[in-house]
Amino acid sequence: MKVGDLVNFYTSAWVFSGANSRYANPGIVLKCSDLIKNRRVAEIYWRDGKITREHESYLQLTEEK
């Protein structure tokens, strides 16, 4: 994942299932950084204008068409 990539928020974990509907997919990666224990975090600008920081494991690259 790199700056400029188009992504969707997604998780299949039941505990976070409500989160899937709170994100206005797709979003664009503004910034990538490392966090504690080599976990990668990305700053995302979402379609609704919100900007959030998300762990890379909750982001999927959108499919190219």
Domain count, the chain: 1
pLDDT digits (tens, 9 = 90+) for 14-53: 777 677 677 889 999 999 987 767 778 999 999 999 999 9
Task: State the Cα torsion 54-44-26-63 to the nearest 10°.
Answer: -80
Q: Residue 9 above 60 pLDDT?
A: yes
- Is the residue at 19 inside a domain? yes
- Is the residue at 20 inside a domain? yes
In order of 39, 41, 59, 61, 65, the CA distances from 55 in angstroms are 7, 5, 7, 13, 25
Domain region containing 45: 6-61
Of residues 48, 10, 47, the one with CA closest to residue 27: 47
pTM of the complete model:
0.80
- Is the residue at 1 inside a domain? no
- Is the residue at 42 inside a domain? yes
Phi, psi of 21 (to 5 degrees): -85, -10
Specify the residue for token string 């299949």: 12
